[in-house]
Amino acid sequence: MQELRTLTRRGAPSPLPAAGRVDPARPALIAPDGAVVDHGTLRSRVDAVASGLRTGDRRLAHIELGATVDDIVAYLAVLEAGHVALLLPPGHAADAVRRAWPADLDVRAGRIDPLHDGDAPRHLLHPDLALLLSTSGSTGSPKLVRLSHANLTSNAHAIAAALGLSAGDRGVTSLPLHYCFGLSVLHSHLAIGASVALTDRSILDAGFWDTVDDGVTTLAVVPHMIELAETTGVLERPHPSLRLITQAGGRMAEDRVRRTAELGAAHGWGLSVMYGQSEATARIAVQDPGATLTSPSTVGRPVPGTQLRLDRDVPESDGISGEIVVTGPGVMLGYAEHPDDLALGRMVTELRTGDLGVLDGDRLRIVGRRAGFVKVLGLRIDLARVEAALERQGLVACVTGDDGGLRVAAEPVPGEPRDTTASRVRRLAAEAAGLGVGHVRVAVAPLARLANGKVDRAGCDVLVRATDPEECADSRQRIDSPGAAVRVAAALRDVLGVGDVDLDRSFVALGGDSLTHVQAAARLSAVLGDLPADWHHRPLRELIDSAPTAPASTTSRPRRWQRLEASVILRAIAAVIICGSHAELFRILGGAHTLMAVAGYSTALFGLSAAGVAARWRSGTRLLIGVAVPTAVTALIGMTYGRYGWGNVFLVNWATGNIATARRNELWFVDVLVLCVLLATALLSVPALARRWLADPWRVAVALLVAGLVSRFAILSVDHDSPMRGIMPTVFWLFAAGMALAVARTRRRTELTLALALLGTLGYFPDDPARNAVIAGGIAVLALVRSVPLPSLVVPLVTVLAAASLHIYLIQFHVLTLMSRTVTDDSLARTLAALAAGVILWRLTAGPISRLQDLLVPLRSPHPTPERIAP
């Protein structure tokens, strides 16, 4: 076996075309920031990295392949250097792959690092082996698909030919690159000299469609993406450059195929329905777009070089259908179930797909799975046919079952009560299967899905089982994805006040903002454990998939500790020290100024992160309503006894000449916050700044921080009065510092931002160094501490105080004055009363304000149109 290390590889090393085969000046990759890498540059970069990787022995590389130029260069270089790439699935599934298949090289974020110090590789690798892919939904000890260099290159060219791709086409990374369908988009376009636009945005993001409308001609989707697109209507408007949508990754209902094809016909693009498997490298059959409308149930003809036959001798055949058997250059070498299998060559010459199909003329139609049959009461039932019957009634469902009956998970129907949907699904499924309704169990909930968008059949089965009180209690208490999904959805329904939660959207995309973030963070961390720094923008399903295997045990033993974000804890602490200081319980000043940095941090994470100018204004306006309404109410109360004036009610006290009046200036924080949000949103509406914000938000935020520091030092060097530290020009630097910390993605950027912010605290209050230290300490915590473990018993109190911090700030002045005049001067009692009153005010007003926001400023435009930034 030792000679396997030195055998010559057969086949082209990667799908990247050889030098001279394509025009080197043509675009190859378009980075998220718009930078273009042409084919000549891509070839040079890949060759340069590959030259440093060439050793005497071939090695196995773990690769986290993201939609970035550096990641793709590293991946192609591994192949060009003759090593074997193992693409890692997302989330905790990657940990299982790493354990089962130890590697020699680790490739992530464009870096290639050795995983051990030894000279010898860990595995014997067959000379034909190029790529290893995890099969869908692999867990535990994953099984890998072994693909050769010839598999990759032949299938890339076959796909390009079947789709009619040319060097002028441009794809887009609408699907993850670890998924064979997404990877085939990259391979098939690069192989013929075409280009690929790189983005990690969701199909629901306006920014994704900006990318599409900037020259993308082909768009790859799975059925769920079409479902999501239908909810937004985004395909109902023109996309000038788009000529073809390709759909694979599962069967799409005929009526949806027809509707989508009709939309394409109206707007100048075609729909190509396809069929494929990882075991056949990517795609097996492709439907000509011209045939989709007339034959919406078929998946087309085999790609060039591939042959299909139907084996009608299998027990599941009805004499017309048969198991689909594939031969051709795309068929894998075989599976790997143990590291020793990596030394094996070709072990299969044909692929038995496990799918049942029939031929409509010369086109293939998928009718079910060999494993998709159950026997109930002696009756043989085709689960795929039951699903199809439900789909014809406009339902999205996953049907599983066993000898005891059918289990159906169905998506909620907008506007229809879940009980009504469940009854209808139960009746229709029973009729399609020829059973009584007593043998059909139904759960109406968002379907569990894999990271690649496919329905997670095992997860859906567990989801239905979890609704059955007769199921084993231990099974129902397990925290696998569907259980976590239900709990996540329930938590956010309460926080956001929405009827249904789409797990393929992020917290921000669902309408989450800085006012609802505190409760959401606490509830999600209770279910999923420690949340990643950018959890606000990740699809909820990705958070669930990437959570530890048991983040929050649902057994009777409660968790003793829970982590909360540092920004949440800072809000709670600031509310307490502001109240306590005003009640003279202690003297710790600087809480409000610290809160201004936290406000900038939250605004950058939420409102300013929205895709497009109009979306940012919508988010900003909703935030301002949430701030202005309770402020106006408390100011009107204060007017009844002469404490405040109309300037406080309309949040313009800074412009009325009353900033030196102690009581009139008590609400300076709200005045400044409103102006900061308006200024930041307005600046990011300027096309040039909007483009820079989209490309690199940190540079924009730091520029605003520097401008704010210039303003702060210039004004305070002339006017030293304390009230001047409560106006926007001298406080904006704190808001901008929070913005910059929110979007600083590296340690170096965070440290530079922190240094600039600390510069601003020097001498800010010249006669109160302790106050400056409090502000500096708060900013340092915001910069350097992501989350803090707290005793679980304390978490609800901290969360409530943080969520109610604005209301505590507003009502405290009334409560402290009233208490001292009528009840007691005791500082502790007055502090506790003010805190309690703020929490009560928040509880009473949160619902009405949310409804007012929805009434005045809906989360999304009634006719969503991805916004573009003018050049």
Q: Roughly how many angstroms between the first and final C-alpha of the chain, as a whole number?
A: 60
Kindly report the pTM of this predicted structure: 0.53
596 with 720, same domain: the answer is yes
Distances (CA, A) of 243 to 171, 464, 865: 11, 40, 19
Stronger pLDDT, 510 or 63, i.e. the higher one = 63
Q: How confident is the model at residue 453 (pLDDT cuts 50, 70, 90)?
A: low
Q: Count structural domains, the chain.
A: 3
**Would 539 be classed as within a structural domain?**
no
In a domain, 261, yes or no: yes
**Mean pLDDT across 12-32:** 86
As a dihedral over the C-alpha atoms of residue 73, residue 76, residue 82, residue 85, rounded to 10 degrees, the angle is: 110
Q: Is residue 842's pLDDT more than 70?
A: yes
Asked if residue 392 and residue 316 are part of one domain, the reply reads: no
In 3D, which of 245, 235, 244, 247 has the Cα closest to residue 453?
A: 247
> Does 20 map to a domain?
no
Pairing state between β 84-87 and 60-63: parallel
- Within its chain, how far is the Cα of 188 from the centroid? 26
Cβ–Cβ < 8 Å for 37, 76: no
Q: Are residues 381 and 344 in the same domain?
A: no
Kindly give, in sequence order, each residue whose CB lies less than 8 Å from that of residue 64, ignoring residues fewer than 6 positions away.
71, 88, 94, 107, 108, 109
pLDDT digits (tens, 9 = 90+) for 183-242: 999 999 999 999 999 998 888 888 899 999 999 999 999 888 888 888 778 898 899 999
> Is the distance from CB of 536 to CB of 512 less than 8 angstroms?
yes
The rounded distance, in Å, linking the Cα atoms of 504 and 418 is 20
User: Where does residue 7 fall: left (phi above 0), alpha (psi -120 to 50 degrees), or beta otherwise?
Assistant: beta
Sheet of 270-276: strand order equals: 218-221, 244-247, 270-276, 283-286, 301-302
- Here the tokens at position 593 are 């100024």
Q: Which residue has the higher pLDDT, 565 or 26?
A: 26
Are 377 and 439 within 8 A, CB to CB? Answer: yes
- What's the distance, CA 219 to chain centroid? 19
- Name the CA radius of gyration of the chain, rounded: 30
Q: pLDDT by residue (tens digit) across 70-102?
A: 999 999 999 999 899 999 887 667 877 888 888
Task: Assess whether 353 and 381 both reside in one domain.
Answer: no
Amino acid present at 427: R
CATH number for the domain harbouring residue 213: 3.40.50.12780
Does residue 387 share a domain with residue 343? Answer: no
* CA–CA dist 444, 423 (Å, integer): 10
| Across 265-273, average pLDDT | 94
Residue 722 scores a pLDDT above 80: no
Among 367, 385, 416, the domain-final residue is 367
Last residue of some domain: 305, 339, 367? 367
Same-domain status, 299 and 380:
no
Least confidently predicted of 14-23, 627-636, 659-668, 703-712: 659-668
Give the closest residue to 779 by CA, choosing from 801, 800, 758: 758
Q: Which domain holds residue 130?
A: 2-13+26-367
The reply to whether 343 and 400 lie within a common domain is no
Structure confidence at residue 831 (pLDDT): 92
pLDDT for position 236: 87
Q: Which of 51-60, 375-384, 542-551, 837-846 has the lowest mean pLDDT?
A: 542-551
Q: How many CB atoms lie within 10 A of CB 404?
A: 11
Q: Are residues 357 and 444 in the same domain?
A: no
DSSP state string for 82-94 = T-EEEEPPSTTHH
* Inside any domain, residue 557: no
Q: What's the pLDDT score for residue 481?
A: 40
More confident site: 423 or 560: 423
* Same domain as 444, residue 320: no
Weakest mean pLDDT among 434-443, 454-463, 548-557 = 548-557
Indicate if the pLDDT at residue 717 is higher than 90.
no
Tell me whether residue 50 is in a domain: yes
Residue 32 and residue 70 in contact, taking contact as beta carbons nearer than 8 Å: no
Tokens of 764: 């800010």
pLDDT at 694 over 70: yes
Instruction: Tell me if residue 37 falls in helix, strand or coil.
Output: strand
pLDDT confidence of residue 550: 40
CATH number at residue 460: 3.30.300.30
Q: Last residue of a domain, which of 437, 471, 505?
A: 471
Can you name the residues that pair with 534 across neighbouring β-strands? none
What lies within 8 Å, CB to CB, of 266 at 6+ separation is: none
- For residue 656, what are its two tokens? 């009325």
Asked if 388 and 357 sit in the same domain, the reply is no
d(CA 783, CA 394): 49
Q: Rounded mean pLDDT of 640-663?
A: 77
The Cα–Cα gap between 87 and 132 comes to 6
Within 13 A of 125's CA, how many CA atoms are on the CB side? 31
The whole-number pLDDT of residue 662 equals 55
Pair 244, 216: CB distance under 8 Å: no
In a domain, 556, yes or no: no
> To the nearest 5 percent, what fractions of the chain are helix, strand and coil?
50, 15, 35
What secondary structure, in 3-state letters, does 675-691 show? HHHHHHHHHCCCHHHHH
Q: Is the pLDDT of residue 667 over 80?
A: yes
Higher pLDDT, 640 or 703: 703
What's the confidence (pLDDT) of residue 649?
A: 87
Give the pLDDT score at 553.
37
Phi, psi of 526 (to 5 degrees): -65, -30
Report how far residue 586's alpha carbon sits from residue 599's, in angstroms, rounded to the nearest whole number: 24
User: How would residue 504 be classed by pLDDT, with cut points 50, 70 and 90?
Assistant: low
114: DSSP letter: E
pLDDT tops 70 at residue 546: no
**Both tokens assigned to 522:** 């606490």
- Same-domain check for residues 412 and 356: no
Tell me the CA distances in angstroms from 777 to 565, 591, 755, 783, one per residue in order.
Answer: 16, 10, 12, 10
pLDDT at 862: 40
Q: The tokens 């899905």 sit on which residue?
A: 449
Give the highest mean pLDDT range of 11-25, 133-147, 209-223, 421-435: 209-223
Confidence at residue 302, expressed as pLDDT on a 0 to 100 scale = 94
Indicate if the pLDDT at residue 259 is higher than 80.
yes
Candidate ranges 8-12, 226-230, 476-480; pick with highest mean pLDDT: 226-230
Above pLDDT 70, what percent of the chain?
86
Give domain status of residue 175, yes or no. yes
Q: In 95-133, which positions are buried (b, 16+ CB within 10 angstroms) versus exposed (e)? A: ebbeebbebbbbbbebebeebeeeeebbbbbbbbbbbbb
313 and 413 in a single domain? The answer is: no
DSSP 724: G
CA dist 818 and 837 (Å) reads 12
Residue 490 maps to a domain: no
**Whether pLDDT at 530 is above 80:** no
Q: Average pLDDT, stretch 393-407?
A: 84
Contact 864, 233 (CB under 8 A): yes
The angle subtended at Cα 144 by Cα 141 and Cα 145, nearest 5°, is: 165
